[in-house]
Amino acid sequence: MSTDLQIGLVQQKWTGDAKSMVAASVAGIRDVVSKGAELVILQELHVGSYFCQTEDVSVFDQAETIPGPSTEAFGAIAKELKIVLVISLFERRAPGLHHNTAVVLDTDGSIAGKYRKMHIPDDPGFYEKFYFTPGDLGFTPIDTSLGRLGVLVCWDQWYPEAARLMALAGAELLIYPTAIGWDPADDSEEQARQRDAWVTIQRAHAVANGIPVVAVNRVGLEEDPAGGKGIQFWGTSFVVGPQGEILGRTGHTDEENLVVAISRKRTDSVRRIWPYFRDRRIDAYGDLQKRWRD
């Protein structure tokens, strides 16, 4: 096994219909694999639009089972190209029970594992609690032929506890399929603050845990079906190393495919210099299980 791992990021715009969106995802996968990618990561809910701008019961018709049509189709692509592939789906678990779920497909096309989004936002334009039940699989890394992957989803990226628990379970890198953007009414200064905060918190997860972090975000304006301003997804997909160093990053306006190499050995050398896991005071952290310390 090579000491480097080639990671492919596919940053997409909503095409307007699911069929062409899937075709665009497949084209992006093939493009990064042609450039050497072994592990390919797609953005959050990449088979369709970001439908959570409104609350609409008809949207539940878009949900699918796992295994199901997408895992079969993308599993065939993973097998053909001999890659590990991270996809993101609207999972129909049972009538009235749905999740925002990332699925990892191994090089033989099989489902290596899945992760159900644990932190579910509910904000203007991001009404995810209407659609998604919080995950119940915990913060458990997924073992693949390329290593142990700590897969999380979007809103999870703001929580250091989630990153830490994945790292404590042996995740070799953290992966965040994402759909985050600006309210177009925000001024440029506020937009810059929001995006900088998003990059900073994830770089901090890399530093605090001594492992690489990969975030793959949507890009482009998606209109609000109810007639609002919509969401301007800010792209800026990136890979950072275990000291938070930026190894590669896309732009914030256009579709873009990117391949970035990470070192499989660097985590060990960084953790020898910065031994946070050695010095953690696990005897003193019990209050982290409380909602608030009164």
pLDDT in tens, the chain (294 residues): 678 999 999 999 999 999 999 999 999 999 999 999 999 999 999 999 999 999 999 999 999 999 999 999 999 999 999 999 999 999 999 999 999 999 999 999 999 999 999 999 999 999 999 999 999 999 999 999 999 999 999 999 999 999 999 999 999 999 999 999 999 999 999 999 999 999 999 999 999 999 999 999 999 999 999 888 999 999 999 999 999 999 999 999 999 999 999 999 999 999 999 999 999 999 999 999 999 999
* CATH code of the domain in which 141 resides: 3.60.110.10
Distance from the first to the final alpha carbon of the chain: 51
Q: Which residues are tagged catalytic?
A: 44, 117, 154
- In a domain, residue 208? The reply is yes
- In a domain, residue 287? The reply is no
Q: Would you tell me how many other CB atoms lie within 10 Å of the CB of residue 94?
A: 8
Name the DSSP letter for residue 220. Answer: E
- In a domain, residue 293? The reply is no
Q: Would you tell me how many other CB atoms lie within 10 Å of the CB of residue 173?
A: 29
As for how many domains the chain has, the answer is 1
Residue 7 bridge partners (DSSP) = 39, 260
- In a domain, residue 201? The reply is yes
The predicted pLDDT at position 2 comes to 77
- In a domain, residue 286? The reply is no
d(CA 291, CA 194): 25
The predicted pLDDT at position 3 comes to 87
- In a domain, residue 144? The reply is yes
- In a domain, residue 224? The reply is yes
- In a domain, residue 205? The reply is yes
Cα distances (angstroms) measured from residue 96 to each of 1, 93, 167, 235, 290: 44, 8, 33, 32, 30
| Residue 80: domain span | 4-280
